[in-house]
Amino acid sequence: MTSCAQSRAQYLEPHSDLSQRRLLCWESPIWSALLALAVYSLLASTRALPWAVSSSPYYNYLADALLHGQVNLRLVPPITHDLIAFDGQYYLYWPPFPAALLLPFVAVFGVDFSDIAFTLGVAALNVALVALVLREACARSLIHLSPRRRALLVLFFALGTVHVTLAPLGAGMVHRPTGCLCLCRFGLPRSY
């Protein structure tokens, strides 16, 4: 705790102006998640409301099927492109973990639950996890970056990679790095 606080204090002294402080918000997991969520929501709202349903909410339909004890879709989505049509039934060829995460939401709100809002939340969580992983890696001396550089790297991940174009679309791909980030986050021993 002390080592990181010292490095942060050392770093802050020569760059104490407002823009530097704003940038350092991205180094904080909570602030980075909130900022990323705001930007992603803004980008999502250029197409549809962030609480709308995407054009292909397939995992919602799979979650609905799982809730009814079946692995084939109980309801047919508005678009069937990319689904599996086998033996008169529709299936998803992707493994079902994202649908398992959606189960409680679909149980309460039905298949019209906003997968875009859910994806925005997962995307913001990813950004927070990146900030946490970089902090932990720094504390474990795996990497040697100042808080400002870590903030830039988190900002880069949030808004300078393909993550930013996928998150506002409600694309299920955003779930993919979450598992790896969780492993890195919880695999690295806590030092704070």
Partner 1 sequence: MAGALLTRSHVLFAGIWPAWYLLASHRNLGWRHLLRYSLLGVLPVAVAGSLLAAYNSHRFGGMLDFGLDYHLMDEVFAADYARFGAFSLHYVASNAYYQLLAYPFASPTFGNPVMMGGSLFLLSPVFFAAFWAVARSRPRANALLLVATIVCTDIPILLLMGTGWVHFGPRYTLDFTVPLLLLTALGLEHWSARTVRWLTEISLAHYICGAIVLAQILDRGCANVEMVQVMAPEQDCPYAHKAEPWSSHSRIVAALACLPPGTKILDVGTATGTLGQALSGRGFLLHGIEPNPSWARVARAYYAELDCCTLDGAPENRLSGHDAVACADVLEHLADPEKSLRRLVNLEPVGCRFVISVPNVANVWVRLNLLLGRFDYGKRGILDGTHLRFFTRASLLRLVAAVGLQVAAFSATPVPLHLAYPRHKRRPSEQNVRHEPGSRDRGLAHVAWLSVCRASRQERVRRWESERRYR
Binding site for partner 1 (CB under 8 A): 43, 46-47, 55-56, 71-72, 76, 79-86, 88-91, 93-98, 100, 130, 133-134, 137, 142-145, 148-150, 152-153, 155-157, 159-166, 168-169, 171, 173-184, 187-189
Q: Give percent helix, percent strand, percent coil of the chain, each to the nearest 5.
A: 65, 5, 30
Nearer to partner 1, 96 or 121 (CB): 96
Cα 62 from chain centre? 20
Least distance in angstroms from the C-beta of 152 to partner 1: 5
Question: What is the token pair recorded at 96?
Answer: 């079902």
Minimum CB distance to partner 1 smaller for 25 or for 137: 137
Backbone angles phi, psi at 95, to 5 degrees: -60, 160
Q: Output 49 or 180, the one with its CB closest to partner 1.
A: 180
CB 87 to partner 1: min, Å: 8
Closest distance between partner 1 and the C-beta of residue 181, in Å?
6
For partner 1, the closer CB: 90 or 118: 90
- Minimum CB distance to partner 1, residue 128 (Å): 14
What gap in Å lies between CA 50 and CA 14, rounded to an integer? Answer: 40
Residue 134 CA to residue 106 CA, distance in Å, equals: 34
Taking phi over 0 as left and psi of -120 to 50 as alpha, with beta for the rest, 69 belongs to left
Record the tokens describing residue 131, joined without a space.
């900030």
